[in-house]
Amino acid sequence: MKYFAQSVFAILLAATASFANETEVNDDAIILKGAEINLDDFLWVNRPIVVLADSPDDPRFLEQLRLLEERLPDLKERDVVVITDTDPSQQTDLRQALRPRGFMLVLIGKDGGIKLRKPSPWSVREISRVIDKMPMRRQEIRTGG
């Protein structure tokens, strides 16, 4: 578990430090950057949390990454994938679909629907409550999946 947290934290740091639109993957977590993302790839598999900002130095963006890093096992348990995008000049499909104004946190369900949209950072505890109320998540809990 300690290795998991260290690995994902390292990826989160890399996500904030680099704007090369590439995917960083290890055995425990996936952190993706916005330019190459097709949300349809996550349908019925993952719950994307999309964190958008106009700059990687936005204090809200940095705070949100810190909050996510604090409780990574909770996110993994809920099949969450974190997607970051801090370059509004690229006008990616992701940005066009979500239409952020500055910082924005978006939770997308496994069905592809937007479940939560927030203009300020949210803790994993708050995000987990929203996820745990979803019918699909309740079914997963009942079936142990």
Q: What is the pLDDT of residue 30?
A: 63
pLDDT of 29 reads: 53
Nearest to 115 by CA among 102, 96, 129: 129
| 22, pLDDT greater than 60 | no
Residue 66, pLDDT > 90, answer yes
What SS3 string covers the chain?
A: CHHHHHHHHHHHHHHHHCCCCCCEECCCCEEEEHHHCCHHHHCCCCEEEEEECCCCCCHHHHHHHHHHHHCHHHHHHCCEEEEEECCHHHCCHHHHHHCCCCCEEEEECCCCCEEEEECCCCCHHHHHHHHHCCHHHHHHHHHCC
Mean pLDDT value across the chain: 83
8 A C-beta contact, residue 83 and residue 75? no
Query: In the predicted model, is pLDDT for residue 23 greater than 90?
Result: no
Of 53, 47, 61, 65, whose CA–CA distance to 124 is shortest?
Answer: 65
pLDDT higher at 125 or 18:
125
Report how many domains make up the chain: 1
How high is the pLDDT of residue 12? 41
So what's the pLDDT on residue 26?
Answer: 43
Q: Is pLDDT at 39 greater than 70 in this prediction? A: yes
Residue 25 CB neighbour total at 10 angstroms: 11
**Residue-number span of the structural domain to which 98 is assigned:** 2-143
* Mean pLDDT across 128-134: 98
- pTM exceeding the 0.85 threshold for the entire prediction: no
The tens digit of pLDDT for each residue in 68-103 reads 999 999 999 999 999 999 999 998 889 999 999 999
CATH of the domain at 8: 3.40.30.10
**Whole-number pLDDT of residue 20:** 32
Q: Which of 2-11, 58-67, 95-104, 110-119 has the lowest mean pLDDT?
A: 2-11
